[in-house]
Amino acid sequence: MFDFREKPGQLIDAHGQDTERKGFFTDTSICIGCKACEVACKEWNQVPMEGNLELLESSYDNTGGLGANTWRHVAFIEQDEEQIEKARDSGQKLISLGMPSIGAPETREKDTAKHIGMPEFGSPGTRIKEKVDNPPNPDTPEFRWLMSSDVCKHCTFAGCLDVCPTGALYRTEYGTVVVQDDICNGCGTCVAGCPFGVIERRDTGTIHTKPDRVDSRYAMDVKHEGTANKCTLCYDRLVDDQVPACAQTCPTTSIKFGNQSEMVESAVERVTTMHAQGSTEARLYGANTNDGVGGIGSVFLLLDEPEVYGLPPDPQVPTKDLPQMYKKVGIAAAGMLAAAATAFVGARKK
């Protein structure tokens, strides 16, 4: 498998210039749930609307999750005091253990560094600014409403890219993962390859809602039907030195965009500050290069366990074990060959 992290020279733009890996830092602690990111993304990328124009029955969320037609998605989670306390404790525990609570508890302690969503958090000589033993108790609310804008993770080890048989998915000069819609044949292999459930095939669908109907004045020209679709990190904006549409429109800078390494750096800084202020529920997601996808291009600061936001706690790229599998396949094949050869040899002997 190609590990572009070790070959920074691979990030070269069309003019032969070295580029840096780009990414997001989505700080959900200052998200106001305005969904401007969802709309700006759709406007810029001409993504069609989705849904049947009925309430989704999920607080203020009516688009459900990431998919072919939603490349930024804002989740709304209503929680009571008990859940807030739990989140605060679990976040605090991340520090005490020097690791985040990702993966099943029993596996955590053995293999700390590898499963964490936070970079070397709390371990010696690392980027944690200062550890607070007795953080101040903030004005604990009885209730909270979490909002978080989700997006394609642009993984270091991207399952979708690994499994794509046509080469439609590729790694750009910005370290992002993009589908070339004119090459994609719509096979859908990538859909199963993504551990986050992000990429999806844009179907024509069987239910025609009001805006879908041919005679509707709201009918939209739907592009790329039948091919795989997902966030491009606004590739077409990056080549013009522009910020991706979602980050550009975010009024509170909850979505930040920049060099991925700087994004991780500011994420670490932010989570440190929040812990110092007593908001021990804060934790990072996807900032650790040793996790199951080699870290992600769009890191998050969350205020509860990833599952609460519908994010997998321990994402694993399905192609992670490919090298070993190939090796085993090789050995098996060699064994079979040997067996076959032996058989022939044996036959001859007869």
Taking contact as CB under 8 A, which single stretch among the options 115-123, 135-143, 232-240, 294-302 is the one that binds another protein? 135-143
By CB under 8 A, what part of segment 163-202 binds another protein? none
Closest CA to 261 of 233, 289, 240, 292: 289
Closest CA to 176 of 150, 149, 151, 201: 151
Taking contact as CB under 8 A, which single stretch among the options 115-123, 140-148, 283-291, 309-317 is the one that binds another protein? 140-148
Instruction: Mark 11-30 with x for binding to another protein (rule: CB under 8 A) and - for no binding.
Output: ------------------xx
Instruction: Mark 70-99 with x for binding to another protein (rule: CB under 8 A) and - for no binding.
Output: --------x-x-------------------
Assigned token pair, 196 = 């986050």
Q: Which CB, 75 or 99, lies closer to another protein? A: 75
By CB under 8 A, what part of segment 48-67 binds another protein? 48-51, 53-55, 57, 59-60, 62-63
Q: Which CB, 57 or 182, lies closer to another protein? A: 57
For residue 165, the SS3 value is: coil
**Of these, 146, 158, 179, 233, which contacts another protein (CB under 8 A)?**
146
**Of these, 6, 82, 130, 139, which contacts another protein (CB under 8 A)?**
139
Task: Report the phi/psi class of residue 160: left, alpha or beta, with left for phi > 0 and alpha for psi in -120 to 50.
Answer: alpha
Render 292-342 in DSSP notation, one character per residue: TTS--SEEEEESS-GGGGT--SS---TTTTHHHHHHHHHHHHHHHHHHHHH
| Residue 35 sits in the site that holds another protein (CB under 8 A) | yes
Strands (E), 139-234: 143-151, 169-171, 177-179, 200-201, 228-229
Closest CA to 156 of 188, 119, 186: 119
Provide, rounded to whole angstroms, the least separation between the CB of residue 70 and another protein.
9
Render 272-285 in DSSP notation, one character per residue: HHHHHTT-TT-EEE
For residue 291, the SS3 value is: coil
By CB under 8 A, what part of segment 256-315 binds another protein? none
For residue 256, the SS3 value is: strand
| Residue 211 sits in the site that holds another protein (CB under 8 A) | yes
Give the interface size with another protein as a residue count (CB under 8 A).
Answer: 41
| Residue 138 sits in the site that holds another protein (CB under 8 A) | yes
Provide, rounded to whole angstroms, the least separation between the CB of residue 320 and another protein.
36
| Residue 36 sits in the site that holds another protein (CB under 8 A) | yes
Q: Which CB, 220 or 336, lies closer to another protein? A: 220
Q: For residue 224, give the DSSP letter.
A: S
| Residue 253 sits in the site that holds another protein (CB under 8 A) | yes
Render 118-161 in DSSP notation, one character per residue: SSSTTSTTSS-----SS-------SEEEEEEEEE----SS-HHH
Taking contact as CB under 8 A, which single stretch among the options 4-12, 84-92, 127-135, 210-218 is the one that binds another protein? 210-218
Sequence-ordered list of residues with C-beta below 8 angstroms from that of 343, at least 6 positions apart, any chain: none
The footprint of another protein (CB under 8 A) covers 29-36, 38-39, 42-43, 48-51, 53-55, 57, 59-60, 62-63, 78, 80, 138-139, 141, 143-147, 210-211, 218, 220, 251-253
